Chain A
């Protein structure tokens, strides 16, 4: 319990230890810790940046998708319009064609009727001629009476 030289010896040791700690321990530890702190901060910043970029890419993709969807809808709408237009055109064409066919059939029928009328006329003329021959009991010279017969036939 005496106060003695220990006091000085221990002071000297204390100073040496503190000096050693100050020179060879503290700065190294501090440097390493500071370096780690910075690298962690950098890592966090990089992660944040990556997240931000991901968000950006995501919204870009969303926009692209929306564009594509709108375009597709537009194309479908165009196709639908074109389809209905084509159907309309085909209908019109068919109607015109039908009318044309009907017209030509009608004309043909008229021609046929005319032809039949002609035939009948001729037959009637021939019958009339035959009848006249019979009545007259003599042959009529076809060549001489041709004009007259034609006239008759036309009158029928």
Chain B
């Protein structure tokens, strides 16, 4: 619930501010005590909450899957192994249907992205006030628990994928081949090469941007709606009741969104990498 002393806009702003550690304008390092202070830090800042939650969730993923992998036998599988194998098989089938080159990285990459992003998105279903209020009791003033509503997180993954796209493009096609592909599409004429280059570079850069911003946008909007619904809880009994209904409906709908977004991120990564591996005939 919003504290009595907060206005609605303060409440919302509070929910959208990360716990930021960074360099103050005066050169000292420390936590930001307000959104404005965090903004002043500029680039030299790190979102401690996003990092902690994403690393924690990633470790849960790796711990569970590593456990299943270590105990994996060809015998009748147990519950955890079964669940893990279903996910692995699903990812494997998806990758195989899109990506038909030899590459040991792509499938584990898709698996990591899918499960990790799903877990990060899943935090969106935790009622928006629970963890921040708990953190406040422990003296921490800002706490965003959904890492995928932080563009830093989504863009860092998208840019890493982008680096892989560039790496495999140059590795499979050669630097010249890659450049030729960029300059001879979509118009196959040497005269129009500069135009092609501009168009293709836009296409290329659009890949990580769309990848990262799609996830961020979906989850940020979802989070925002949860925050707005949470505002209704402090606006009287009838509003709280309607808000409860809204929260349930939105959470149910959001279940689809978070799974879909995790899947889309993984699949698009595989698609982009498949494109990077494709060697053109001309």
Binding site for B on A (CB under 8 A): 1-11, 13-15, 17-18, 20-22, 24-26, 28-33, 35-36, 38-39
Contact = CB atoms under 8 A, between A and B. Distances in A.
A9 B46 contact: yes
B44 A5 contact: yes
User: Is the contact region of chain B dominated by helix, strand, or loop, or is it mixed?
Assistant: helix
B111 A10 contact: no
A22 B112 CA distance: 9
Indicate the size class of the contact surface on chain B.
Answer: 35 or more
A29 B42 contact: no
B66 interface: yes
B203 interface: no
Interface in B42-79: 42-47, 50-51, 54-55, 58, 61-62, 65-66, 68-70, 72-75, 77
A3 B151 contact: yes
A36 to B, nearest CB: 4
Given A5-B45, A28-B72, A29-B69, A20 B62 contact: yes
Contacts of B51: 6, 9-10, 13
Interface stretch (B154-162, B177-185, B247-255, B274-282): B154-162
A77 B107 CA distance: 78
A109 to B, nearest CB: 105
B136 interface: no
B20 A33 contact: no
Contacts of B77: 36
Given A13-B54, A29-B72, A33-B85, A7 B45 contact: no
A26 B152 contact: no
B70 A6 contact: no
A3 B58 contact: no
28 contacts: A2-B38, A3-B151, A4-B20, A4-B42, A4-B43, A5-B43, A5-B45, A6-B150, A6-B156, A9-B156, A10-B50, A10-B152, A10-B156, A13-B54, A17-B58, A17-B112, A18-B108, A21-B65, A21-B108, A21-B109, A24-B66, A25-B62, A25-B65, A26-B108, A26-B111, A29-B69, A30-B92, A32-B72
